[in-house]
Structure 1
Amino acid sequence: MIKSTPYVLVFLLALLLSGCGEFYKLEKSTNWDELYEAANRYYDQGEYNKAIILYDRVLPVIKGSGKAELAEFNYAYAHFRTKRYIESAGYFKTFFDTYNRSPMAEEALFMHAYSLYLDSPDYNLDQRSSREAVNAIQLFMNRYPESDSYERAISMIDDLQKRFEEKAFEESKMYYRLTEGLFPGEFYRACIINFQNFAKSFPDSEYNEELAFKLVEVSAAYAERSVFDKKEERLKQSIDFAQDFSQKYPDSSYGKKVENIKSETTTELEAHYRLKEQYEARSAEARKLREEEERNQAATEALRNTEN
């Protein structure tokens, strides 16, 4: 048994070299029928890289013939099997556009979408390719609403939407952290806009309650730090956010904190009204004194002109 091992290795090596020699000859061959059959054979055997090499040679020659349809379909799948998803997406779409009446057209359009879906990144990365995948899935669903793959397409859409939601939530948290810096400035306003846009884009998100609370919190801080002319408007906005929160989430664990913020903001608004009233009274008095001084000055000038 042990002595036979070298003979087995020699046999396997010879077999391997024979296979390599056969493929090398095929690469140099101009027998297109032979290349076509070999490409399909390698594909069926799961040797997709070899199949791709041979399809690359034979496809331009057989284009437009009866053999091209299966070859192009296998070619797209060979790229998919080797996890070249961007390439497979393109080849499946080209197949569908070329052979949209083919019995394989439905599968090709689904695989176009599925390839883009598999290539889409995690939620913390740029999601432009994920949006492209969503568009492709929607195209498939619109074209084949009765397809057996329809439910699978829906689950893919749901998964991608969840990634968009996670991405948007992470961006919201980033803006929120920036308000804790030494110079929060416009980050308060950016937070308010971002939190509101999130709720519009993802109305059923589990994060909406937390962001609605942070909206109350941030808007109150923004109002507190605002210049006098903007303070009243922003204090009122914060109170409105607090009231909206209490209506939407009456049993929230954030409820007590929201009520405290609302109470403090209301107290500050009342203080602002008193200060505004005092300011307006002083301004009116100063205006009255200025007008009286202008009248006296005008009377003095008139008297001087009369004497002259």
Structure 2
Amino acid sequence: MIKKITVLGALAMLLFPSCSKYQQLLKSNDYEEKYQMAFVYYNQGDYYRSIQLFDQVLPFYRGTDRAETIAYTYAYAHYNQKDYMLASFYFKKLTTNYPRSKYLEECTFMSAYCKHLDSPRHSLDQSSTEEAIEELQFFINKFPGSERVDEANNLIDNLRAKLELKAMEMARLYYKMENYNAAITSLNNILKDFPDTDFREEVMIIILKARFDYADKSIENKKESRFKEALETYDNYIAQFPSGDYEHEANQIQRNILRYLNSYSKSSL
């Protein structure tokens, strides 16, 4: 125990002068030393101290030849701290403040890339995901010859897949809750927004089930027209998936629709 305390005490004594010197530097008016040490700490991987010093020297060197490099390194310090929202903000700020910067292409990409990294799992709010897609597309349009274009396209594909999955889960939930109109609208939007979706067959069978259930639970004078809409949906499903995974279920729904329509026709005679 005594040996352990001695070791800890020795470490504290080694660290204390360093901490004390750093605190003195923060309070000093020597901006040249602050500037130099900000880069020293950055290169050592001490991004927290680097950021604190950059916070102080950024206003001091604004408008000088050093300002752009400070802004560039400052953005990367936040990126390396995994503070992706702030990193994205500062990368984008650099592109705005220095539109002819030699870092323009890189920082335009990094601003979008940080938004991608900040994108949460699909079950959460996807605002940052949509922003990331917009920024990545902006990058592709602005720098079509960049070697990063393929990576940007792949990132967009991954982000869109996340939006697609969220939309699909919401549509399933609407159907489960018997909110048939909301389910149908959501599912049709998936087909429109994601025309190559891997969920296409499932989307169409749920639309069919939702239309059938909606018709079945409608008031009597609405049933016929709604069952006919369901029958059209069945025809669309079979046309696209004649031997689909849900063929048996779809055929059963069709039989139920026809049974109702036939009985309705007889009762109208």
Instruction: Flag whether TM exceeds 0.5 (same fold).
Output: yes
- State the shift of 1:68 in Å: 0.7
User: Which residue pairs with 1:41 in the alignment?
Assistant: 40
Residue identity in the other structure for 1:94: K
Any residues of structure 2 matched to 1:182-197 within 5 Å, and which? 187-197=179-189
User: Which residue pairs with 1:260 in the alignment?
Assistant: 252
Any residues of structure 2 matched to 1:44-193 within 5 Å, and which? 44-179=43-178, 187-193=179-185
CA 266–60 in structure 1, closer or farther in 2 if over 3 Å, else same: same
The count of residues paired between Structure 1 and Structure 2 equals 267
CA 214–6 in structure 1, closer or farther in 2 if over 3 Å, else same: closer
Please give the secondary structure, in 1, of the residue aligned with 2:89.
Answer: helix
1:2-30 superposed Cα distances (whole Å, 9 cap, x missing partner): xx999987765443222112211110110
Residue identity in the other structure for 2:194: F
Aligned 8 A contact 2:211 2:226 in 1: yes
- State the shift of 1:209 in Å: 0.6
Residue identity in the other structure for 1:224: D
2:245 corresponds to 1:246 = no
Correspondent of 2:226 among 222, 231, 234: 234
Residue identity in the other structure for 1:61: F
CA 236–7 in structure 1, closer or farther in 2 if over 3 Å, else same: closer
Please give the secondary structure, in 2, of the residue aligned with 1:93.
Answer: helix
- State the shift of 1:51 in Å: 0.6
- State the shift of 1:218 in Å: 2.0
User: Which residue pairs with 2:15 in the alignment?
Assistant: 16
- State the shift of 1:173 in Å: 1.0
CA 42–234 in structure 1, closer or farther in 2 if over 3 Å, else same: same
Please give the secondary structure, in 2, of the residue aligned with 1:263.
Answer: helix
Gaps of at least 5 residues in structure 1 are 180-186, 278-308
CA 193–10 in structure 1, closer or farther in 2 if over 3 Å, else same: closer
Gaps of at least 5 residues in structure 2 are none
CA 8–263 in structure 1, closer or farther in 2 if over 3 Å, else same: closer
- State the shift of 1:194 in Å: 2.1
Distance in 1, Cα, partners of 2:72 & 2:43: 13
Residue identity in the other structure for 2:198: E
Distance in 2, Cα, partners of 1:260 & 1:5: 76
Distance in 2, Cα, partners of 1:114 & 1:135: 11
User: Which residue pairs with 1:298 in the alignment?
Assistant: none
Name the stretch that deviates more: 210-219 or 87-96.
Answer: 210-219
Distance in 1, Cα, partners of 2:230 & 2:267: 19
Correspondent of 1:214 among 178, 183, 206: 206
User: Which residue pairs with 1:272 in the alignment?
Assistant: 264
Residue identity in the other structure for 1:225: K
Distance in 2, Cα, partners of 1:230 & 1:6: 83
- State the shift of 1:191 in Å: 2.0
Aligned 8 A contact 2:171 2:182 in 1: no
Aligned 8 A contact 2:212 2:227 in 1: yes
User: Which residue pairs with 1:184 in the alignment?
Assistant: none
User: Which residue pairs with 1:198 in the alignment?
Assistant: 190
CA 269–15 in structure 1, closer or farther in 2 if over 3 Å, else same: same
User: Which residue pairs with 1:292 in the alignment?
Assistant: none
Residue identity in the other structure for 2:219: V
1:111-152 superposed Cα distances (whole Å, 9 cap, x missing partner): 101111111111000111111111111111111111121111
- State the shift of 1:101 in Å: 1.5
